[in-house]
Amino acid sequence: LQIAHALEAAHERGIVHRDLKPANIKLRADGDVKVLDFGIARVLQPVRAANAPTITSTPSMTHVGMVLGTPAYMSPEQSRGQPVDKRTDVWTFGCVLYEMLTGRPAFEGEDPATTIACVLERDVEMGALPAGVPSSVRQTLRACLQKDAKKRIRDIGDVKLAHDGAFETLVERGREHPLWGQRMS
């Protein structure tokens, strides 16, 4: 949840991290999680928070068609060099959560090219999750790791809501889930 809070704070300021991975997440001695290395982050739009300086976008060395990031954690659209938005960070959050639960990356290959091919062509192996992982977490992972960005959770805040059980009553009633458009039973 602390990782989701950090991403949400960045997204509220119009910033997409684009390189979330375990190496960029640190646990402090006091138990707080810190998300680091916004080196390839992208400012989607200038944003001004109350009592804060304006964040402006500087000329970027990145552009559409350029692939930048860590292959095992890049979203399909990022892997293809397509435009990205905050749903890219939702994807990488799903990859990190999967790895936290299974002890292995969601997508891996022998080299960067085969890893990207895995991201683009394979679905994550949900059977690798430990048996005790709640169905709500499994469903959240599926929704984070949708290859089509239009079908993916749109906002990391929705991941926090799902974790808090905001959609559990809908699942229990067997109704269509509002975020994922799937019939739940």
Would you give the distance in Å from CA 151 to the centre of its chain? 13
Q: What angle do CA 150, 45, 22 make, to 5 degrees?
A: 65
Which of 175, 140, 171, 134 has its CA nearest to residue 158? 140
pTM of the model: 0.74
Name the token pair of 114.
Answer: 């085969």
CA distance 124 to 164: 24
Pick the more confident residue, 166 or 114: 114
| Consecutive H or E run containing 20 | none
Which of 84, 45, 90, 49 has its CA nearest to residue 63? 84
User: Per-residue pLDDT tens for 118-159?
Assistant: 999 999 999 999 999 988 888 889 999 999 999 998 888 888
User: Per-residue pLDDT tens for 42-87?
Assistant: 555 544 445 544 333 333 444 444 456 788 898 999 888 888 888 9
User: Per-residue pLDDT tens for 67-78?
Assistant: 567 888 989 998
**Cβ neighbours of residue 51 closer than 8 Å, sequence gap 6 or more:** none
Where does the pLDDT of residue 117 fall: very low under 50, low under 70, confident under 90, or very high at 90 and above? very high
In DSSP terms, which residues pair with 49 in a beta bridge?
none
DSSP percent split of the chain into helix, strand, coil, nearest 5: 40, 10, 50
Name the token pair of 86.
Answer: 């905050």
Which of 67, 41, 14 has its CA nearest to residue 76? 67
Pick the more confident residue, 35 or 102: 102
Residue positions annotated with a catalytic role: 19
CA distance 101 to 103: 6
CA distance 85 to 77: 10
